[in-house]
Each structure stands twice: as C-alpha cells, then as structure tokens.
Structure 1
Amino acid sequence: MIADALDGSGHDSRYLHPVLQRALAFLLETDFSKVEDGRIDIDGDRFYAQVMSLHTVPPVERLAEKHERCIDIHFLLEGEEDIGWKPHDGKEILHLAYDAEQDCTLYRELERERRIRLEPGMYMMLFPSDIHRPGLGGGERARKAVVKIAADLLQA
C-alpha cells in the first residue's frame, strides 16, 4: 500500500513501475470537475477509472475487500474519506469467499485494521496483498476516482 499526495511532495514516483506512473499521470492530468460519474476507459478492461460520488459510512456498515488480479488507486477529488487497510495475513474473518468473476474476497472483521484519511488530492494505491475498506466516515459526501489496473500488466 502506498498513500501519498498526488502533487509529489512525498513518494517519488520515479521508482514506480511505468504502468503505475501512467496511472498517476492520468489522475494528475485529468480535469475531474468536467467529468461525470462513471467509467473512463484508459486501456479497456485491464486499465480504467471509475469516477463516483458517495456518502461515507461507519466501518460496521462496510465490508472490507481484497482483489487477486487488480491494483486499485483511490484518488480523492472532494470531501474526506477514510480507508481501512491491513496486509493480508490469513487471520481475517471471511464474509464471502473469493469470487473470480468479480475478483473480490469480502471480509467483515479485521484485526489491526488501520484507517488512513484521504483529503482532496491524495491517493491510496492498493495491491493484491492489501485488504481495504473504502468509503469510511460519518456520512460526509465525497467524490473520488478509482483506477483499476490488471496486476499482470506490471509483470510485462
């Protein structure tokens, strides 16, 4: 997991894989104030963004998730959002076993889950080893873009 401000004041993206650099460049260069909620294709089903508006909820109202085949980059556009996170260690309480079609395993309870607060301009990059619980808060409105990248693009 990497959490940072997109302005580059923290993590040095030069050390990231070129596909991840391309994703961050897309987020930096896109004027999301002119983009409606919905899907933006970058490279078909293997590399795309989903722009969404949401109201945050307490952790008990949101399941945690883990993907096997994709990397998520959550980029906050408006509002505030906490994202729960923990590395997968096999000790999680399973809610729904892995669904290959949805590329998702769902968890209800996580020991030692950490909450990371995102503010506009910040992103959180989540890899297949990361369990995350997005959209957390106290009912605040937020808007974000989630870039989905097929993990095997990083192996090319």
Structure 2
Amino acid sequence: MITGNLAHLERLAGQLTGPVKKALELLAERDVTELPAGKTPLAGEDIFASVNAYETEPAADRRPEKHFQYIDIQVLGAGREKIGYTDVENAGEITEDRRETNDVVFYGKVEKENFVGLEKGDFAIFFPWEVHRPNCWFEEGPESVKKIVIKVRMDQ
C-alpha cells in the first residue's frame, strides 16, 4: 500500500513506472474530485474512475476485499474515512466470490490489519496482493464521503 496527497503527485510519479505512473499522471492532469458519480474512462478500460458518495460505517460492518485484475487508487474527494489493509496471506476464508463479474472477493476476517486515515485530497494505492477494508469510520460516527476509485489494469 502506498499513500499520498493529490497536491504531491509529482513526488510519487517520479519514482514509479508502468500503469500506476500513467494513472498518477492522468490524476495530475484533471481534478478528479469534480467527476460525476458513476464510471468515467480515463484510458479506456485500462484506467477508469468510479465515483461514489456514501456514509462511512463501523469497521466491523465492512468486509475486507481484494481484487485480481486491477490496482485500486482510492482518492478522497470529500469527507474522511479509514481503510484497513493487510497482505493476502493474513486473510481468512473467502465469503463471497465476485471475481468473474466485478473483480472482487470478500473475506470474513483478516489478521494483522492496520488502518490508514484519509481526508480530502489523500489517496491510498492497493495492489492485488493486498486485502483492504474501505469505507470505515474515521473516528466515532458516520461521515459523508465522496470517493474516486481509479482502477488500473495490472496487465497493460
């Protein structure tokens, strides 16, 4: 997992190569926080944005998940949330498998989970070997969040 802020994309982009670097360059070219709800192609199906608005929930109510074909760059456009994360080796049994339709599986529990707090403009990058639990309360109680998830295909 890599974290940062949109104001400092150039620091990170200069250290990366491949599809993640391209995605960060696309992020630097536009204000993704202004994208409309739903899916917006940034580079076809290889890099696209999915924008959602929701209320955060207690971590215990959120399921850990992981993807196979896409890297997630989760950007907070408004609000605050925490995201849990751990390596896939620390995940328990898969409780729901939607990899054929949505490139995601969900887990019942994970071990050695850490949390990162994100506020407006912050982002976290999750790779397919990392399980993450998004949309969790930042502190006690729900908050309204607008999140832009940039999906970056692994096999570009």
TM-score (norm 1): 0.87
- Taking the aligned partners of 1:91 and 1:136, their CA distance within structure 2 comes to 18
The answer to whether structure 1 residue 122 and structure 2 residue 122 are counterparts is yes
Give a deviation string over 1:38-80, Cα, whole Å, max 9, x none.
1111122221001111110011211111111110100111110
Number of residue equivalences: 153
* Distance verdict in 2 for CA 1:96–1:33, change over 3 Å: closer
More helix by share: 2
Aligned residues: percent identity?
Answer: 29
Offset from partner CA, 1:78-97 (integer Å, 9 cap, x none): 11011110011154232124
In structure 2, distance between residues paired with 1:41 and 1:135: 23
1:62 pairs with 2:62: yes
Structure 2 unaligned blocks of 5 or more: none
Q: Tell me, in whole angstroms, the C-alpha distance in 2 between the residues paired with 1:34 and 1:102.
A: 25
Q: What corresponds to 1:139 in structure 2? A: 142
Give the gaps of 5 or more residues in structure 1. none
Give the whole-Å Cα distance in 2 for the aligned partners of 1:110 and 1:31: 34
Partners of 2:9 and 2:24 within 8 A in 1: no
Amino acid at match of 1:89: E
**Is the deviation greater in 20-29 or in 137-146?**
20-29
